Structure 1
């Protein structure tokens, strides 16, 4: 028999705290037949109903806490959590079965030592308390024999797991090689060529070139599958011209909005406060004598423009010094003025002139506004009539003839850009309606009405040269310029010709990000030998790379030591995980898994 207490207490503390003291309120298996003891087995090891129920209950509690509300088993199943619980339990039982095959177990004394060491069973004096132990097990639905056997099985599984996971360490040389690879630095120059760097005039491509380019890049010039849609639309603007407008009505509207058409002069002002009137008067005197100014006084106090900004006011709304401020010129400083904050001085920063619009000047805009508002009401009055017409079997064309709609057509796909598609209701209707669906009256955000019909679906197709000639010509021109840039860059590299601005980079590692440059520039640098160069093609740019120096990694630095430690830990964990997965997979192959679906369903239906 193998004895081990090393990690059992850690493993079971959370289990006991979860199972024993939270309780099983609201969850039960009272309706489960007493004849059903297991939900399945793997190899010779049973998966008991109680083990599965307890696992489900624990997961249900934990997940409910995360969501902040009590979840049902059905919700757990919908999230895939129930299947995860079962999978985890099967894995545990798989390891338990393998431990049994290998005769791994612990003796009774080890089980006893583990139990009495758990804080969950200790009394106020810190010693093991038999009453607390019995009470906790009873609440959790365990017998003492079941619980002790579960600790024994869990310990055996842990011994087996640790034997697989521990001792898997990477060779130091391997870690150092990887660290040296990552910390190696390189110094290099980059010369950037742009279209301005070369003398080249791209000729207008021929039709043959356009066709060849289109054939090679068909996926970029495709009209997606589209719907041919007919829609009937009635907007307020269509009825506004027929709305009679009375001057008396317009005059009343003008009076209601008089403040909008007649705005008083406003002034934006800044304010500086002082501790005494003498200090404020001294500041005004210095400003008038040109010994200082408002901004300098602000800066002396460490104040910004935001700090001294007081606001924009009409004369009526300004409580302090309104006469002085509205008599002052732009930029003039007035004061001192006694306020609730003490003596202050004001500066006029901006003068907003008064605006006055007479009734006659506003009449046209008032008439349009009134007519549009009245037209919206007329449209509203036609909703029921339009709905009834379609409900009686009427068509979009009938809406035109009998209600006053107009009919339009649109070829709709994800690329279509038309004003009516800016309306979300219309867009969603066009997106979701299929051939054969009856049109419905729906409202537009501008107060209008519409109904649409999908006439047919147009298959995706390649655009014609006529449709995209301009785009093709631009693309071919860019391609030719890029080709010329790349060739010029290669010639300059071959002839070792330095011309123009040279960008110098020193001691850069492989993870360096070079702003505004292609990602493969740094990769290419680390593929070069000292003194060699390469050309990287960009977007209307070419990059001439020249490697100047390679510096091997210094593994004695603190940064290198930290990286080495991280590499070892990561690879060791990965290696252990791979070995464990390989062992588990092999164990699954060699052990038959048998799940009783009827028993599972019985457990699920028993949850209250």
Structure 2
């Protein structure tokens, strides 16, 4: 049974079409794979085309790229299971289409027309639907009007189907009440952290025998992770920059193009309060002049925070009609009311920043270096095809580096490797995905550099020799010994607390918390502390060890959720909504799975592999 990605079930065909138009996948190039069918899969009599799969897969990969902040390759997508999720969603959609057809369920032509007219890609500059634009857009993407409208009708019908199956579900009242009571509870407690200074005496220096025993007993702390030994070639723009010729005219042109950076006009530090009408503004100014209120007090009366009134550093051009009035002040002060685009306003001028001008001569060398580097980036890109051809002809990385004047290097790469070429996300992704039988290919780096790599071998995890990590061993031993002594001290203090003592009487630095919410945040404290507090009954204490720190907490009260509290009411509403959504999701998953089972699913793995191969 598939598990479709229901989060995109609302208007699937609309976002698929927009994927065609925005991503330009209409000419994706998947036309024939030599088999009996070019469909990715069939569900009953419904077919999932290569086009639909390719666009859906590309959109999911792009979304994950944006989330991770680095390009997601097809290999990474497969590791993350993105391709399988996309196929599952499309299979689920096809199953619902088939079932809707069997039941004769469909939306009317009027709704299809309304949806088409609402798609921005089919509208003219005035925002109205344009039939010629509609037809040309579809033709450009290789879709007929009938094909698109059928897909859109199917998508809208699936929406009806989903609502018919899942709408009206509610979370059980008992579930909402119990979970609301649990999550709405708060705690009053006192907390103290034990520090090395709380120990009766400092931790002594370890002996060599103790360090060697610690190293032997904790191999996980001193094990080098699996390491990939890589050879690489690398060409950076910086390697070519010094050779680039840039004339003075080009440098001067760069200065002129960025003149606003180097010639900054006089500015003022300004705050502004806008009023509803002139009379209100005049009255406020009169109060300011009489000393009855300050500018900050006036803002506070109107419910404005400092960020609401502060305009920051502004020039004449930024102030519009108020420019002459504000810039007419020779010293900080308050002026106005001045009529602005937002209404009458008072302005507080709090500081004068003089004009600044950086002469061309002062920045010439920097601009020249930037121009050379930019020209070097283009030169690097121009050299890439020749290097690719050399590698394609069978040359080794070593031969290519020698012939093309590239940097040749090796790196022992793992998750802990930093600096150099390993500092680039593109290199790290390629290094992690490399196989020993891969053919080296040129790839680009974010700064315009290029590289290729070869995986020479993979060294398994290994414990580093004591002599190589002695200093680390001593640091770890000291931390472990300190933690053990703090833990023992905490247990002694807990015993005293259990016998009636208080944290205050034990001489610890304490912090009191009242009405602390479940899931609350304690600054600079591991989350395990709050979790342990909520696991401790009222009137009892707990020793909490987390993130190599030791705490002692005493819970003084367990406060039940107050049904009359607006926050608790909102919490219950959220629980009810989320619970209903979860039930709806389960119903849809079970229903879709049952339909799929009845219809039968056939996946054309050869076509899937062919599409995946083109999604690099």
What TM-score comes out, normalization by structure 2 length? 0.52
How far 1:64 sits from its partner (Å)?
A: 8.8
How far 1:306 sits from its partner (Å)?
A: 4.0
- The structure with the larger Rg is 1
Name the counterpart of 1:428. Answer: 429
| Cα 1:195–1:400 shift into 2, 3 Å | same
Instruction: Say which SS state the counterpart of residue 227 (structure 1) adopts.
Output: strand
Indicate if the aligned counterparts of 2:191 and 2:512 stay in contact, CA closer than 8 A.
yes
Residues 1:500 and 2:507 are matched in the alignment: yes
How far 1:228 sits from its partner (Å)?
A: 1.1
Name the counterpart of 1:372. Answer: 373
Name the counterpart of 2:395. Answer: 394
Name the counterpart of 2:404. Answer: 403
| Cα 1:345–1:202 shift into 2, 3 Å | same
User: What are the residue-to-residue correspondences of 1:87-126 with 2, within 5 Å?
Assistant: none
Name the counterpart of 2:482. Answer: 481
| Cα 1:402–1:284 shift into 2, 3 Å | same
Deviations 1:72-105, CA, capped at 9 Å, x for gaps: 99xxxxxxxxxxxxxxxxxxxxxxxxxxxxxxxx
Indicate if the aligned counterparts of 2:532 and 2:542 stay in contact, CA closer than 8 A.
no
How far 1:312 sits from its partner (Å)?
A: 5.0
Indicate if the aligned counterparts of 1:195 and 1:541 stay in contact, CA closer than 8 A.
no
Alpha-carbon distance in 2 for matches of 1:190, 1:301: 40
Name the counterpart of 2:607. Answer: none
How far 1:310 sits from its partner (Å)?
A: 5.1
Indicate if the aligned counterparts of 2:413 and 2:422 stay in contact, CA closer than 8 A.
no
Alpha-carbon distance in 2 for matches of 1:271, 1:395: 67
Indicate if the aligned counterparts of 2:544 and 2:550 stay in contact, CA closer than 8 A.
yes
| Cα 1:408–1:330 shift into 2, 3 Å | farther
How far 1:301 sits from its partner (Å)?
A: 3.2
Name the counterpart of 2:444. Answer: 443
Alpha-carbon distance in 2 for matches of 1:503, 1:440: 59
Indicate if the aligned counterparts of 1:435 and 1:454 stay in contact, CA closer than 8 A.
yes
Alpha-carbon distance in 2 for matches of 1:525, 1:276: 59
Residues 1:463 and 2:464 are matched in the alignment: yes
Name the counterpart of 2:355. Answer: 354
| Cα 1:518–1:337 shift into 2, 3 Å | closer
Alpha-carbon distance in 1 for matches of 2:486, 2:341: 71
Indicate if the aligned counterparts of 1:315 and 1:322 stay in contact, CA closer than 8 A.
yes
Indicate if the aligned counterparts of 1:481 and 1:540 stay in contact, CA closer than 8 A.
no
How far 1:487 sits from its partner (Å)?
A: 3.9
Instruction: Say which SS state the counterpart of residue 316 (structure 1) adopts.
Output: helix
Instruction: Say which SS state the counterpart of residue 321 (structure 1) adopts.
Output: helix
Indicate if the aligned counterparts of 1:221 and 1:462 stay in contact, CA closer than 8 A.
yes
Name the counterpart of 1:336. Answer: 337
Structure 1 residues not aligned, in runs of 5+: 1-25, 29-62, 74-185, 550-599
Alpha-carbon distance in 1 for matches of 2:449, 2:494: 66
| Cα 1:601–1:543 shift into 2, 3 Å | closer
Alpha-carbon distance in 2 for matches of 1:330, 1:237: 49
Instruction: Say which SS state the counterpart of residue 450 (structure 1) adopts.
Output: strand
Name the counterpart of 1:270. Answer: 271
Residues 1:305 and 2:312 are matched in the alignment: no
Residues 1:517 and 2:524 are matched in the alignment: no
Name the counterpart of 1:314. Answer: 315
Name the counterpart of 1:257. Answer: 258
| Cα 1:67–1:294 shift into 2, 3 Å | farther
Instruction: Say which SS state the counterpart of residue 324 (structure 2) adopts.
Output: helix
Deviations 1:54-84, CA, capped at 9 Å, x for gaps: xxxxxxxxx99995455699xxxxxxxxxxx
Indicate if the aligned counterparts of 1:226 and 1:411 stay in contact, CA closer than 8 A.
yes
How far 1:382 sits from its partner (Å)?
A: 1.0
| Cα 1:69–1:603 shift into 2, 3 Å | closer
What TM-score comes out, normalization by structure 1 length? 0.53
How far 1:233 sits from its partner (Å)?
A: 0.4
Comparing 430-439 with 535-544, greater Cα deviation is found at 535-544
Name the counterpart of 1:200. Answer: 201
Indicate if the aligned counterparts of 2:269 and 2:311 stay in contact, CA closer than 8 A.
yes
Alpha-carbon distance in 2 for matches of 1:601, 1:282: 77
Indicate if the aligned counterparts of 2:533 and 2:555 stay in contact, CA closer than 8 A.
no
Alpha-carbon distance in 1 for matches of 2:375, 2:188: 74
Alpha-carbon distance in 2 for matches of 1:469, 1:521: 38
